[in-house]
A and B are shown apart, each in its own frame.
Chain A
Amino acid sequence: AQSVTQLDSHVSVSEGTPVLLRCNYSSSYSPSLFWYVQHPNKGLQLLLKYTSAATLVKGINGFEAEFKKSETSFHLTKPSAHMSDAAEYFCVVSDPPGSGTYKYIFGTGTRLKVLA
């Protein structure tokens, strides 16, 4: 079965410093992986997705993630944090082809705090 593990429930960084949010996945096939962000009282928004094309994926707001099959990881990074990046971030894997559902399987989330 597919699963994702977000290694940190909370991450704090200072404004202007790099961000690293860690995600490991487990999948019996070549997965599709996503990062979503959830701001308070707002809907989940897609940051980026990996769908077996380039392993380095660029997303919105300066975020990017690298798919590393050997490490089963899909960590999210940003070179310089902004106050507006403070939010909850979810790593997501989707059901495999042939499942008929393609539901998302979410990690437990990482709350990012950005300090002034």
Chain B
Amino acid sequence: GAGVSQSPRYKVAKRGQDVALRCDPISGHVSLFWYQQALGQGPEFLTYFQNEAQLDKSGLPSDRFFAERPEGSVSTLKIQRTQQEDSAVYLCATIGGGARNTDTQYFGPGTRLTVL
């Protein structure tokens, strides 16, 4: 597609429910990032994939958060037993090659998760 797409755009979950958020990268993009953006804050890094390999998951806030990218394309961020503090916008970003610090990341529109 023309850009990074994410689905669903909005998700409401009851506390304790599991959710799965999907990211479809720009075709052929090797590097994929997940960020969490709380209300009124800047995005914060969660995890990074290069192809199917998860090279950095240092930003995942707890073991309830899990991400995968099994075929090196679509990625899914899963949150188990959601808590109210998980309410945020979850952003996906991709880069064409193996990432370098000068590279532009292309962001999807995000998924707004609200946990009641």
Q: Which A residues lie at the B interface, using CB under 8 A?
A: 31-32, 34, 36, 41-46, 49, 51, 90, 94-97, 99-109
**B62 CB–A CB distance under 8 Å:** no
A101 to B, closest residue via Cβ: B56
B109 touching A108 by the CB < 8 A rule? no
A89–B59 Cα gap in the complex (Å)? Answer: 23
Residues of chain B whose beta carbon lies under 8 Å from any beta carbon of chain A: 3-4, 31, 33, 35, 40-45, 48, 55-56, 59, 91, 93, 95, 99-105, 107-110
The answer to whether A42 and B109 touch across the interface, beta carbons within 8 angstroms, is yes
By secondary structure, the B interface counts as: loop
Give me 9 other A-B pairs in contact (C-beta within 8 A), A43-B108, A104-B35 excluded: A31-B101, A36-B107, A41-B109, A42-B109, A43-B110, A44-B43, A45-B107, A106-B35, A106-B43
| Contact yes or no, A49 B102, CB < 8 A | yes
Please report the number of residue pairs spanning A and B whose Cβ atoms sit closer than 8 angstroms. Answer: 70
User: A32 with B56: in contact, given A43-B3, A43-B4, A44-B107 (CB under 8 Å)?
Assistant: no
Q: Which 9 A-B pairs have the closest CB atoms?
A: A106-B42, A102-B99, A44-B107, A51-B102, A103-B45, A94-B101, A101-B56, A43-B109, A43-B107
Interface secondary structure of A, over-half rule: loop
Assess whether A105 is in contact with B4, with CB atoms less than 8 Å apart: no
A-B contact pairs, 6 of them (CB 8 A): A43-B91, A43-B109, A97-B101, A102-B31, A102-B103, A107-B42
Alpha-carbon distance A41/B109, docked complex (angstroms): 7
A45–B99 alpha-carbon span in the complex (Å): 18
Chain B positions within 8 Å of A105 at CB level: 45
Cβ–Cβ contact B45 & A104, under 8 A: yes
Q: Which listed residue (B42, B45, B107) contacts A109, Cβ 8 A?
A: B42
CA distance A31 to B3 in the complex (A): 27
Flag if A102 contacts B101 (CB, 8 Å).
yes
B41 close to A109 (CB less than 8 A): yes
With a CB–CB cut-off of 8 A, which chain B residues contact A99?
Answer: 101
Nearest-CB residue, chain A, relative to B99: A102
CB-defined contacts of A109 to chain B, threshold 8 Å: 40-42
